Chain A
């Protein structure tokens, strides 16, 4: 599947901003099953400095400085992504969850060392007994990890209500647990809190989901916006992604931007401005499947 992706972030400021710095994590990551073969930024006003580096987690990050007075900043990220279908391990083939937990204790080597990066408290997620308690019905003794995780994903989908009004960027996982409402970011954080509280490495994935409804099916939540989900460490089977907002294993309809311990590591746009700070922000995402015919309708914008 080929996707054409446009992610537009528009800031409108009440008073002129003389200087702004942003870090963007908007370029889809290269993966075994994903290839971003074209990418470009269109930023207005055009930045004085544009620098790119690979961050600690291997995501592509761009540093943008706008040094002229402006009352509006538009950041457009344009990508073309080839997304392959992958065959995932069948849940009952995966090792017992305790096996993964015990791997992550003490000294770790190799892949388990990298997994342990996602085991501990992070800026927005702290382990707690209440998360372990909530998760434990899905984790009886000896249950294969993916089986257990899917069960938990299903329960979160059932127990929690999608409600964009209920939370803000700053809402804590504790609050989400209490109110049982939130958006994809909240559900991902919650599921990660549950898994880490059981001693299982889990990471936060930032990306998009294609929202065209299949015939006769309901339109999926998360359309026309960024999306977020969870990746869980399954040892020999690598990392497997699950989407608690849609109660899904991650499929060819998900496009991955990058990952980190929680939202704060991979927020697509993060910025500091010199100014009064009164502003509004609009985010528009368009993920269009394209029949691949070898020509690029994006050629005009991508250099």
Chain B
């Protein structure tokens, strides 16, 4: 190391020279007089060596990686409904070894304590019987789930993953702000933050001796395996997600892949004979452990919230029967109620015989007379929160309330005192943050994680570090637009590299990587194939039209173009009014709508959005590169019309066709030839065959020569045709190339051959009769195709041809329905009840 690690280092460099903390608040990196803290000095020196320009470049690099990895966070209020890229500040928060040891002990104690409280409240309730806790905290708490009271959990672990939100007080001590006991989010984001920060600051990361995160995840995974019900030799673990519309869906998909668990939605699971099963293409497969990211009240419409579509009917019964381990245990949310914070010091004494190591931020529960009075007397200095109910609900900051609002709040507290807590409004410490080319202080809070290990807890040496959007804003949630940082827990000795893929001392076969395909996923992959092909065919048609349009200057649409337009009307891609001769301007306007207007159904942008939505439901099945292509596709589709709308539209079509080629190339070259790929490719082939049959049929109704030129162009077969037939265009030869030629990857018979290959490889269905239906249908289609080839297109034969093509198209549609019915059918559960 070239720098001096001395704590008395002068802030000589340009980055820290002008950096100051905020008045009356603790700054993580500098003291009140602006001197670097000793623990930060070596790292600060390294940053100074980089200099502002390089730091800026690395910061941009980090942003790019975040976008390319597709790290996102869904924001409910976002009108586009799209995922928002994750925000990561490049300067990490540092925690020195001595401080970390204290925090580690405190977090272990806290998780142990909370687990004991859950064990008591969902068991003997001694804490209530002896008056250690007032009953309203439990009985009046909607998060107390009576149906799971008395349900035994493996090794008495209720809290498998505990998240603790912590911030540093002005005096420099750490305070707990809140406990996350439901199914704390953020471990996946913390891991991604680490990957990005270690990549953009590699030398700094290495020299700082940062503790690794991987062992924490390995411990979490091993514990879940060990907690599987007895008899499960190679336990099957699933990660239960509410689905792609959840704010942290990215993380669910990411963690599932990282930990090797199957990502499932409630509809993928079913309870039979008091066991939980995953519905896969190959049938029902038993599930031993559920890592849940669905809120506990939503987990079972039979015994918990009956209006939930996210859960599994009978899950509580399965838990009761001990056939499945659920992490965190159902009912764990109870301890997220801030009212418990006020009781933890005494509960810690009582249950562990110890002082609570990390204090909570001062909390007064209004259900006690003295506390209520105190809160009411100090309302303007308080943060008032509902004692129960959703933690996500925004608190009242007494200071910011109008007089009327404050009086209303006071009246509400008096009416239902037990439903409120007051908390001291604390000033968080600040941390240097890279903003507009310089370091600025930003408020910081950290979520630490504890994972149960069976005989205690393992603490993640790191965490999700969130910083406020502006200095002075006390609200730190990603929902309200803050940013995040990596947290570097420093070690006083060199750190050995670890990866999750090779747990030390364990045979590689130990880890079960999920291979089964949930029916829902097969369904999505099938439609992913169909939509990518639908988008491509739309783009190809648009490109034909746009190219011809830009060549013409006349006000009336010429013959060839008008023939193509008419075919598009016949295939219901354009409205009826475009049949016949139409003004140039009108057609142009319509095409531009199809390219640029996101609201236009069947338009390019709508198809891209749909494709992206379907892809996001199978995100854990797509490689990072595939996802990157899809992200690029969406970006490329969003161009503006500009001053040359027509030329620009043509460009967009060309670019997107190339993006799609990259997508299908990725699929062909990188996807394992398992059922997932089969269904994706089946969807693509079916869609391609359908579009071609449909378009060929339409071409028979319009001016032959113009139509055939366009169809060849559409099917990317113009070159093939020219090489093979020097003669003029004629229907017979075109059919030879586009229908009969088994070697042309764009021809009908090529698609049917592929469909047959796939159909024969589909999973066995319960009845052999059913398994045969798809291959039979495809074979029937091939027979029809043969009839076309034997029919020379004399005028009489032309009618027959129209009929055959139309039949092929509609048979393909029914084939799609058949696939859905046979393989993907997963009807929604419906709750029924009897009226008195």
Whether B136 sits at the interface, judged by CB under 8 Å, is: yes
Q: Within residues 146 to 200 of chain A, which ones have a CB less than 8 A from any CB in chain B? A: 168-169, 183-185
Whether A55 sits at the interface, judged by CB under 8 Å, is: yes
Whether A42 sits at the interface, judged by CB under 8 Å, is: no
Q: Which residues of B contact A18 (CB under 8 A)?
A: 827
A21 touches B271 (CB 8 A): yes
30 contacts between A and B (CB under 8 A): A19-B272, A21-B271, A21-B314, A49-B273, A49-B274, A56-B147, A63-B314, A63-B317, A109-B129, A109-B130, A113-B128, A116-B135, A116-B136, A119-B139, A121-B140, A129-B415, A169-B833, A225-B836, A227-B836, A228-B836, A268-B834, A269-B834, A272-B829, A273-B831, A273-B832, A274-B827, A276-B830, A277-B832, A279-B832, A283-B834
Give the docked Cα–Cα distance between A15 and B334 (Å): 40
Q: Which residues of B contact A56 (CB under 8 A)?
A: 146-147, 149-150
CB proximity of A173 to chain B, nearest CB, Å: 15
Give the docked Cα–Cα distance between A269 and B317 (Å): 16
Q: Within residues 68 to 119 of chain B, which ones have a CB less than 8 A from any CB in chain A? A: none
Q: Which residues of B contact A268 (CB under 8 A)?
A: 834
Q: Which residues of A contact B146 (CB under 8 A)?
A: 55-57, 265
Give the docked Cα–Cα distance between A274 and B147 (Å): 22
Chain B residue with the shortest CB-CB distance to A53:
B320
CB proximity of B645 to chain A, nearest CB, Å: 48
Give the docked Cα–Cα distance between A53 and B140 (Å): 24
Q: Within residues 47 to 67 of chain A, which ones have a CB less than 8 A from any CB in chain B? A: 48-49, 51, 53, 55-57, 63, 65, 67
> Could you say which of B129, B313, B833 contacts A267, with CB atoms under 8 Å apart?
B833
Whether B432 sits at the interface, judged by CB under 8 Å, is: no
Chain A residue with the shortest CB-CB distance to B135:
A116
Give the docked Cα–Cα distance between A53 and B661 (Å): 58
Give the docked Cα–Cα distance between A68 and B405 (Å): 58
CB proximity of A67 to chain B, nearest CB, Å: 6
Give the docked Cα–Cα distance between A30 and B139 (Å): 24
Chain B residue with the shortest CB-CB distance to A15:
B827
Q: Which residues of A contact B518 (CB under 8 A)?
A: none
> Could you say which of B130, B150, B302, B827 contacts A275, with CB atoms under 8 Å apart?
B827
> Could you say which of B128, B136, B301, B835 contacts A120, with CB atoms under 8 Å apart?
B136
A183 touches B836 (CB 8 A): yes
Known: A21-B313, A116-B135, A277-B832. A271 touches B150 (CB 8 A): no
Q: Within residues 234 to 283 of chain A, which ones have a CB less than 8 A from any CB in chain B? A: 263-265, 267-277, 279, 281, 283
B836 touches A274 (CB 8 A): no
B827 touches A23 (CB 8 A): no
A270 touches B273 (CB 8 A): no
A11 touches B139 (CB 8 A): no
Give the docked Cα–Cα distance between A228 and B835 (Å): 12
Whether A9 sits at the interface, judged by CB under 8 Å, is: yes
Q: Which residues of B contact A281 (CB under 8 A)?
A: 832-835
A271 touches B836 (CB 8 A): no
Looking at chain B's contact residues, is the secondary structure mostly helix, strand, loop, or mixed? loop
A65 touches B835 (CB 8 A): no
Whether B131 sits at the interface, judged by CB under 8 Å, is: yes
B274 touches A271 (CB 8 A): no
- What 1/0 flags go to B821-833 for Cβ under 8 Å of A? 0000001111111
A107 touches B302 (CB 8 A): no
Identify the B interface with A (CB < 8 A). 128-131, 134-136, 139-140, 142, 146-147, 149-150, 270-274, 301-303, 306, 313-314, 317, 320-321, 368, 415, 827-836
CB proximity of B324 to chain A, nearest CB, Å: 14
Give the docked Cα–Cα distance between A270 and B835 (Å): 10
Give the docked Cα–Cα distance between A196 and B139 (Å): 13
B830 touches A272 (CB 8 A): yes
Chain A residue with the shortest CB-CB distance to B317:
A63
Interface-central residue, A53, A55, A120, A283, by most chain B CB under 10 Å: A120
Give the docked Cα–Cα distance between A275 and B831 (Å): 10
Whether A226 sits at the interface, judged by CB under 8 Å, is: yes
Additional A-B contact list (8), CB under 8 Å, known A56-B149, A109-B130, A268-B834: A11-B832, A23-B303, A65-B272, A108-B131, A169-B833, A264-B306, A265-B146, A273-B831
Known: A169-B835, A226-B836. A274 touches B302 (CB 8 A): no
Q: Within residues 91 to 112 of chain A, which ones have a CB less than 8 A from any CB in chain B? A: 106-109
B833 touches A106 (CB 8 A): no
Identify the A interface with B (CB < 8 A). 9, 11, 18-19, 21-23, 48-49, 51, 53, 55-57, 63, 65, 67, 106-109, 113, 116-117, 119-121, 129, 168-169, 183-185, 225-228, 263-265, 267-277, 279, 281, 283
Chain A residue with the shortest CB-CB distance to B835:
A169
Q: Which residues of B contact A121 (CB under 8 A)?
A: 140, 142
B832 touches A19 (CB 8 A): no
Give the docked Cα–Cα distance between A176 and B366 (Å): 32
A272 touches B139 (CB 8 A): no
A283 touches B149 (CB 8 A): no
The list of the 4 closest CB pairs from A to B, nearest first, reads A277-B830, A120-B140, A272-B313, A56-B146
> Could you say which of A48, A53, A269 contacts B273, with CB atoms under 8 Å apart?
A48
Chain B residue with the shortest CB-CB distance to A67:
B272
Give the docked Cα–Cα distance between A10 and B197 (Å): 62
> Could you say which of B140, B150, B301, B836 contacts A119, with CB atoms under 8 Å apart?
B140
Interface-central residue, A57, A63, A268, by most chain B CB under 10 Å: A63
B135 touches A272 (CB 8 A): no
Known: A51-B274, A272-B313. A168 touches B835 (CB 8 A): yes
Q: Which residues of A contact B273 (CB under 8 A)?
A: 48-49, 65, 67
> Could you say which of A49, A109, A227 contacts B131, with CB atoms under 8 Å apart?
A109
CB proximity of A38 to chain B, nearest CB, Å: 24
Give the docked Cα–Cα distance between A21 and B301 (Å): 10
A273 touches B302 (CB 8 A): no
Give the docked Cα–Cα distance between A231 and B610 (Å): 55
Give the docked Cα–Cα distance between A183 and B835 (Å): 10
Give the docked Cα–Cα distance between A138 and B327 (Å): 49
Q: Which residues of A contact B272 (CB under 8 A)?
A: 19, 48-49, 65, 67
Chain A residue with the shortest CB-CB distance to B145:
A56
Give the docked Cα–Cα distance between A48 and B273 (Å): 7
Chain B residue with the shortest CB-CB distance to A268:
B834
B270 touches A19 (CB 8 A): yes
Chain A residue with the shortest CB-CB distance to B139:
A117
B140 touches A271 (CB 8 A): no
Chain B residue with the shortest CB-CB distance to A285:
B836
> Could you say which of B130, B135, B830 contacts A273, with CB atoms under 8 Å apart?
B830
Q: Which residues of B contact A184 (CB under 8 A)?
A: 836
Known: A51-B317, A265-B146. A270 touches B134 (CB 8 A): no
Q: Which residues of A contact B147 (CB under 8 A)?
A: 55-56
Q: Which residues of B contact A107 (CB under 8 A)?
A: 131, 134-135
> Could you say which of B129, B142, B301, B836 contacts A272, with CB atoms under 8 Å apart?
B301
> Could you say which of B139, B149, B321, B832 contacts A116, with CB atoms under 8 Å apart?
B139
CB proximity of B139 to chain A, nearest CB, Å: 5
Known: A56-B146, A65-B314, A276-B830. A185 touches B140 (CB 8 A): no
A108 touches B135 (CB 8 A): yes
B317 touches A9 (CB 8 A): no
Give the docked Cα–Cα distance between A107 and B129 (Å): 9
Chain A residue with the shortest CB-CB distance to B134:
A107
B135 touches A269 (CB 8 A): no
Chain A residue with the shortest CB-CB distance to B415:
A129
Give the docked Cα–Cα distance between A44 and B269 (Å): 25
Known: A49-B274, A270-B302. A276 touches B835 (CB 8 A): no
Q: Which residues of B contact A226 (CB under 8 A)?
A: 836
Q: Which residues of B contact A106 (CB under 8 A)?
A: 134, 368
A283 touches B835 (CB 8 A): yes
B139 touches A274 (CB 8 A): no
Give the docked Cα–Cα distance between A49 and B270 (Å): 14
Give the docked Cα–Cα distance between A193 and B270 (Å): 37
Give the docked Cα–Cα distance between A265 and B149 (Å): 13
Interface-central residue, A55, A117, A271, by most chain B CB under 10 Å: A271
Known: A19-B270, A21-B314, A49-B273. A269 touches B827 (CB 8 A): no
Chain A residue with the shortest CB-CB distance to B125:
A113
B832 touches A9 (CB 8 A): no
